[in-house]
Amino acid sequence: MPSWSQQSVRDFPVNGLLPKEETQSAAFVRAHPEYDGRGVTIAILDTGVDPGAPGLEVTSDGRPKVIELIDCTGSGDVPCTTVVEATSDENGKTTVTGLSGRKLTLGKWNNPTGKYRLGVKKSAELFPKGLVDRLEKERKRKFEVEHHQLVTQAQKEASEFDKANPSPNEEQQLVKADHKARFETLRDLWKSYEDPGILIDCVVFHDGTKWRAAIDINESGDLTNAQLLTNFADERQFVRFGDDSMLNFSVNIHDEGETLSIVTVAGSHGTHVAAIAAANYPDDPRLNGVAPGAQIVSLKIGDTRLGSMETGSGLVRAAIELVRLKIDVANISYGEAAANPNYGRFIELLRDEVVNKSGCVVLSSAGNAGPALSTVGAPGGTSSGVIGVGAYVTRGMMDAEYALLESVTERPYTWSSRGPTLDGDVGVDIFAPGAAITSVPQYTIQNSQLMNGTSMSSPNCCGCVALLISGLKAEQIPYNPYRIKAAIVNTGKDISDPMNVPFIQVENAWQHLSEFRDGRTNFDVHYEVTLPEKYKYRGIYLRDLDETSELQTIQVHAQPVFPNALAPSQNALKLEMEARLALVPTQRWISAPDYLHLNNGGRGFNVQVDPSNLPPGLHFGEIVAYETARKSGGPLFKVPVTVCKPQPVDLNSRDCYVKWDGVRFEPGAIERRFISVPAGANFAELIVRSENRQAPARFIVHMMQLQPQTRYVKFEKEYAFSLTSPGSGDRSEASTYQKTFPVLPNVTLEVCLAQFWSSPGTTSVSIELKFHGILCSVSGSTSGGLGASSGTGGDLVYLNSGNHGFARVDVATPLRKEEVAPTVSLDTLRRFIRPTDSQMSPLKSRDVLPDSRQLHQLVLTYSVKITEAGAGVNVTPRVPRFNEVLYDASVESFVLIVFDANKRSVSYQDIYPKAVKLADGTYTIKVQIQAASVDILDKMTSAPLVLDVALAKPLNLTAYKSIGDIATGAAGDDAKFKKKILRRGDRAVFWIGGELSGAQPKDAKQGDLLVGKMEVVGGGKKVEGCLYPVAWIVPPPEANKEESEGTGPKEPPKDDTVLLKEATRDLEISWLKKMAKEENKTALLKRLESEYADHLPLYQAKLDSLAEKAEKAEKADGRVSRELAKEIIDTADKILSLVDLKELAVYLGTKHDLVTGGEKEKNRKKEMDRQKEAIIAAYGWNGRALKATIENAEVGKSAAATLAPAPTADMALFDSTLSELAKWIADPPTTDGKYLLLWAWQQRRRGLHATALKALNKFVGEVKNVGAEGEVWKKAVDMKREVLAEIGWEVWSRYEERWRVVKAPKEYAPF
């Protein structure tokens, strides 16, 4: 290569991989090498931190980097309540049987008590989703190799049999069919293959000093050389699950060994965050995190079961740990939208206990929901005491991380969330670099990764704060969270942010802290600024047309809040506190008093905001409070004032629209327009056209309307798209983007358009917004009503309130000419279910709040039956009171789990309801609510569950022109209201009613809802979302004609004496089930048999009693005694003798008119149904008893003899019994689980294992059988596994053994 080419290659800009120069943190460490985070502990509340990741081994001064690993979520919890003592096997090794069923060989461990606690855990609850997917693919490839060997062997055996038997006889035909069944079963098994994951056996014991755990990481069962683990903080041990996963884990043991917590990461996010804050690379310090000398505590709040979503329980436990461990600085790169800023149980814990009392500095990401205003999330952008951090991109980051074709202007990232909060606070406190390429967990099989977001800016800022605290501790300078916040905010770099949010500068902040190092200052106090007359808002926020058009006089109250305010030690400081303040408005349209004297009692003052002469758009100012004696330190507090003045729409214009031409953009540029949505509007069209693009540019349009106590996401619309232009200059050829979406009338709409920060070049666009209104008022009265619904996707509109069966819809078009085309489609059954059980109990040691209050849990249990599901139906369970509230929740936690009939968890859910696909069957839904207040929980013990069940096919309702058309059931097009053009100001009426287009769901009960939508917009327009969600109340059921008296003959009345005798008999028969003492039951049965020798229900009850005994015997001893089997056979034969089988068969084979047949025919039908039920039970139990008789006769014989027995009379009787049973059950009979178990046993004895296996596999694989068949399904699963072993397919037998534990756990999974 030519030398000139080598010289032109520049060094890689390594410093830009994890930016530190821009924040002055690198310069600070160069100036103060020992203030690099030493002596500071940083808590990372995230997905967990991998202690084996690059850069996270040691600090810059050689101490362990990660000193605590705690799973706060419970996703790694393993219940270890099963206590056993070990035994010695034939080789003298110490063993126990693990809960997976595997034999576990223990090591030579010191265990003075000799007792071991056992647990088992599924890898899917521990491994991150991406890793689970990777391992499943790898295991499937390995499994397929073994499966293919079985297929090859089956082909070989079939071919050899065909060659040996070219003309097979009847018996050989069965064997040939069995060979064919092998192919078919192997094919079906492979089609249904689903990786069961790893089943991890756990053994916990006390070694005399501390609790220890051994984990069977490779499913070998050999724990002789397993590393014995204890709480990570004690010995800092961590282990890898294997080289295939590369996933490291540690443990903590709680509650005297009852709970083992296996701590893994839920994703790569937390490790990346930790590395930004504090990674240390001794061999290449350029890669260091911001504070390489700091130590890390990992508090996992991302629940692996939820794909790393946080839960209230995880957050509260993390807050408890922050206080317990006396953390210096905490980073929370998590957050959600909140309806109520600065409110909620976790927010209170964070503010009052963690920040104020414990003195921990808490930083949190502001969110990635920009660029529209008021998109900051909780806790980072909404909570007092928490430093909210926005994301900024610098030139160095662009060069090192993004590989851009050309550099663009430094600025906040386009997607970084913006303030103000809904209550007027500025929201974002500081900006920091919002991306890095740094360390990630080893399971990702890469050393580093690029991530960007406020999740990255927050730990960068957190590392900067750690540097400051490191210096403060070293120089013994007093500090608290408020002094540090004041220092970084008051000394940040001005980046021309519209809301004056600065960019962090460490050296400047250090200078501020050093200047005020002596003693207490007024920067040590938090100043709570509120508007008493406006819901205690923390700032002035004006958005709507009226309030931005006239002078506003607003009362403001400033209240000093001392750290640990209730402690007696603070009283002297409160007494001394006095500040003489100058109040300085930063804008001419804001007026405030010149001075304010403030002490611990707080002060109120009035301010005036006059937005009347401001042009439409965003206007921001502040009232800045300086302490006159220390002006150089910056303000003590600020009163933020935000005015989003909307542009009114000219309602005199027939077009009712606004338009902006020639709006110019450069990379990262944001243009905001605020429009006062007209009173009659409920949807709008947005049209964006490019005018000068040659290459595509990425744009984001973000539209927002705000409502009090409502999450901003409720009325948010955000779209990303590309704009370009052919360059011809022809406007019709311009690149156009268009959307139609719902709007709220009378509420200001922000239209925020941004060219993405990394899209180069300038762009000129035009923006057009057209407003439409089709307003509907729905009434159950023929005369209409006063109520009106604008139609914005809000609450449900009831179409048949009072079950009238019709709805009158008055429609108006107040803004422009519209085409109205109503359709109603109902696609969801909404059921309301009360709990069947509620249990309240205290939680354990991890759930004691810092103020010593014990958290309690309320567990609500709901039973849900699903029918008509076919291959599966989407079901969404909800408890609306707790849905979509997390950080602002009034309770500590809410979790919901859906279990199938075998206690298998099929869906683990948080505050966001999710659809789960369920088949027919009975399901148990458990809800856990946590709170410190028992009184609060006590009020929730009957909270209803809302269950949304998707219909297989939507049901439609018809719109009619008049109510008369509904009454007459007119079917012609002339009667239907299909579409109509309404001019501006016109009104019309249509009627919804008539019959539903399909059958009402069987699960629908009176008072349930059929939910869907009413579309009214015609003309080819498609409104994104739903203008009118509607509900049809399920009416009372119609009278069943078959249950009415009918017209036929009635049964002759019976004498009272006869009726009394029959009633007494039936009562005595019913008591056979209830009697506890066997001798009393025997005596009663003997007497009843003598008195009612031919009474069928008596012998059915007797058979039921014997069957119960047989079931218990099978569970206890594995078999039924000869005596009990004979008694069952005799009783079954008696039942069969009492039924005329021929007459019953004839009856069931013909149709019967129950209406004209009257009472007599109905009674006959009931009797015939009873007889059919009786003979099916009789044949079934006859077969089971004969099977037991045959097995009892073979006790002591070899396994080979029992698998290939000689024919016997009992076996012949069994065969004929099974043949008779098949005649009375559904075809094919193997779909009946009880028959299948007998038939499969028969085939196995004939040597036709594959034939039996094929039917068992089909039955077990049908999801509906899991719930419908219950214990029978479990027995079929066990038999399937046995047959797989008998046939020699060990790979599939092991597969089924794993699934056995997963599909049918002994206990419900813990929360």
Phi, psi of 91 (to 5 degrees): -100, 5
**Type and span of the H or E element at 96:** strand 94-97
Spatial strand order in the sheet of 115-122: 82-85, 115-122, 199-206, 211-215
Using CA atoms, how far apart are residues 115 and 1282, in angstroms rounded to an integer? 32
- First and final C-alpha spacing in the chain: 64
Mean pLDDT of 1173-1185: 91
Per the CB < 8 A criterion, the answer to whether 733 and 726 are in contact is yes
Neighbouring C-beta atoms of residue 348, cutoff 10 Å: 13
Torsion, Cα of 230, 329, 480, 507 (10° steps):
140
DSSP string, 893-907: EEEEEEE-TTS-EEE
Helix H or strand E encompassing 206: strand 199-206
Q: What is the mean pLDDT of residues 668-684?
A: 94
d(CA 475, CA 35): 10
Tell me how far apart the alpha carbons of residues 906 and 1291 are, in angstroms, rounded to a whole number: 25
Cis peptide before 646 (omega within 30 of 0): no
Q: What is the predicted pLDDT for the residue at 569?
A: 84
Does residue 1120 have a pLDDT over 90?
A: no
C-alpha to C-alpha distance for 88 and 90, rounded to whole angstroms: 7
Q: Name the residue among 1023, 955, 856 with its Cα closest to residue 316.
A: 856
Measured distance CA(903)–CA(1267) in Å, rounded? 10
CB atoms within 10 A of CB 1146: 10
**What is the DSSP code (8-state) at residue 862?**
E
Distance CA 61, CA 288 (A): 13
What would the pLDDT profile of 1239-1269 be if each residue is shown by its tens digit?
A: 999 999 999 999 999 999 999 888 777 766 6
Residue 1126 to residues 375, 683, 730, 1100, 1108: CA-CA distances in angstroms?
76, 77, 96, 16, 15
Of 434, 453, 428, 436, give the one whose Cα is nearest residue 392.
Answer: 434
pLDDT of residue 1020: 86
Residue 320 contacts by C-beta under 8 Å, 6 or more apart in sequence? Answer: 349, 846, 847, 848, 849, 850
- Which of 772, 707, 783, 698 has the alpha carbon at shortest distance from 737? 698
Question: Token pair of 518, please?
Answer: 């002596």
Residue 786 has pLDDT above 80, yes or no: no
* 3-state DSSP of 632-696: HHCCCEEEEEEEEECEECCCCCCCCEEEEEEEEECCCCEEEEEEECCCCCCEEEEEEEECCCCCC
Per-residue pLDDT reduced to its tens digit, 572-611: 888 989 999 999 999 999 999 999 999 999 999 999 999 9
pLDDT at res. 869: 80
Q: Rounded to an integer, what distance in angstroms lies between the CA atom of residue 1311 and that of residue 1302?
A: 17
What was the pLDDT predicted at 1202? 52
DSSP state, residue 1108: H
Bridge-based pairing state of the strands 1028-1033 and 797-798 = parallel
Strand order through the sheet with 94-97:
87-88, 94-97, 103-105
For residue range 482-520, what is the model confidence (pLDDT) as tens digits?
Answer: 999 999 999 999 999 999 999 999 999 999 999 988 777
Task: Tell me, rounded to whole angstroms, the distance of Cα 916 from its chain centroid.
Answer: 11
Cα(212)–Cα(267) distance, integer angstroms: 26
Cα dihedral angle (1076, 1080, 1085, 1086), rounded to 10 degrees? 160
Helix, strand or coil, per DSSP, at residue 1040: coil
CA distance 1176 to 1100: 11
3-state secondary structure string across 561-593: ECCCCCCHHHHHHHHHCEEEEEEEECCCCEECC
Confidence at residue 970, expressed as pLDDT on a 0 to 100 scale: 66
What three-state secondary structure class fits 1238?
helix
Q: Once rounded to an integer, what is the mean pLDDT over residues 463-478?
A: 96
What average pLDDT score do residues 1134-1159 get?
84
Active site residues: 46, 269, 455
- The SS3 of residue 1212 is helix
pLDDT band, very low/low/confident/very high, at 796 (cuts 50, 70, 90): confident
- pLDDT average, residue stretch 326-349: 96
Burial 306-336, CB ≥16 within 10 A → b, else e? bebbbbbbbbbbbbbbbbebebbbbbbbbbb
pLDDT bracket for residue 792 (50, 70, 90): low
Angle among Cα 1106, 1112, 1118 to the nearest 5 degrees reads 115
Indicate whether this model's pTM tops 0.85: yes
Q: Where are the beta strands (DSSP E) in 942-1067?
A: 945-960, 980-982, 986-993, 1009-1017, 1028-1033
In this prediction, residue 339 carries a pLDDT of 94
Catalogue the long-range contacts made by 1189-1194 (C-beta closer than 8 Å, 24 or more residues apart).
1189/1122, 1189/1125, 1189/1126, 1189/1129, 1190/1214, 1191/1119, 1192/1119, 1192/1120, 1192/1121, 1192/1122, 1192/1125
**Which pLDDT score, from 0 to 100, does residue 1 have?**
44
Q: Specify the higher pLDDT residue, 465 or 1113.
A: 465
Q: Give the C-alpha distances (Å, rounded to integers) separating 35 from 280, 284, 469, 491, 848.
A: 14, 19, 8, 19, 35
Q: Which residues of 409-418 are buried (b: 16+ CB within 10 A; e: fewer)?
A: ebbbbbbbbb
pLDDT band at 140 (very low <50, low <70, confident <90, very high): very high
* CA 350 to chain CA mean position, Å: 24
Question: 812 is written with which tokens?
Answer: 């108006």
Per-residue confidence at 236, pLDDT binned at 50, 70, 90?
Answer: very high
pLDDT tens-digit series, residues 650-664: 887 777 889 999 899
Taking Cα atoms as reference points, which of 1030, 993, 1031 lies closest to residue 805? Answer: 993
Calpha distance 23→459 (Å, rounded): 13
* Residue 764 near residue 672, CB atoms below 8 Å: no
- Asked if residue 394 lies in contact with residue 410, where contact means CB atoms within 8 angstroms, the answer is yes
Find out whether 154 and 161 touch, Cβ atoms under 8 Å.
Answer: no
Question: Average pLDDT of the chain?
Answer: 91
Condensed to tens digits (0 to 9), the pLDDT of residues 1282-1302 reads 999 999 999 999 999 888 888
Question: CA-to-CA distance for 534 and 300, rounded, in angstroms?
Answer: 38
870 vs 101, residue with greater confidence: 101
Q: Which amino acid is at 647?
A: Q
Distance (Å, whole) CA 621 – CA 1265: 66
pLDDT in the model for residue 513:
94
Question: Which helix or strand (DSSP H or E) is residue 1255 part of?
Answer: helix 1249-1261
Burial class, 886, CB count within 10 angstroms (exposed 0-12 / middle 13-18 / buried 19+):
buried
Q: What is the mean pLDDT of residues 1199-1227?
A: 79
DSSP conformation class of 37? S
Name the packing angle between helices 170-191 and 129-164 (round to 10°). 160
8 Å CB contact between 1127 and 1133: no
Q: What mean pLDDT is predicted for residues 918-940? A: 94
